[in-house]
Amino acid sequence: MQWVALAAIALAAVAADQLTKHIVASQLKLNDGVHVLGPFWIHHVRNSGIAFGFFSQATAVVIVLTGLAVAWMLVFFGRSGARHPVLPVALGLVIGGSTSNLLDRVRLGYVTDFLDLRWWPAFNLADSFIVVGVLILLATLVLAEREPRRSRPARDAPTRPS
């Protein structure tokens, strides 16, 4: 059942990201923008690199590394025995976002970014899904560390005479 949840979340993330990128690319010319509210703009830009435009001249390397990262996450999920119930959600978001951007890089050589806050580089839904998925994973790890561990009764502990 957790594989179904992981796949459903990843596929929904890919679909949402691809749909929004398609809408932006079909409605706005490259570098055009529409003011939404406050500092928030929809601004059609292309990014051939990864976060903040790093490695923009190394698209092939980014494609290979992203593919390896997605494969590793799937192997990790498959090998994790007693999975935390949040793991399919978090990894589904990260895998879906990574896969959607990977599809664009393979198909187009770049990703379409459009969410622009003016004080941060433009990004897309896939980027948001990746960040939210990682934050969920980190929060789960932190909360798991804060929970008191259940003490197990010692099996070989000597018993006291009454």
Q: Which of 46, 51, 15, 18 is nearest to 32 (CA)?
A: 46
> Residue 143 in 3-state DSSP?
helix
> In this structure, how many other beta carbons lie within 10 angstroms of the beta carbon of residue 16?
17
Q: Which residues contact 9 (CB under 8 A, 6 or more apart)?
A: 88, 89, 92, 93, 96
Contact of 100 with 14, CB cutoff 8 Å: yes
Supply the residues annotated as catalytic: 113, 127
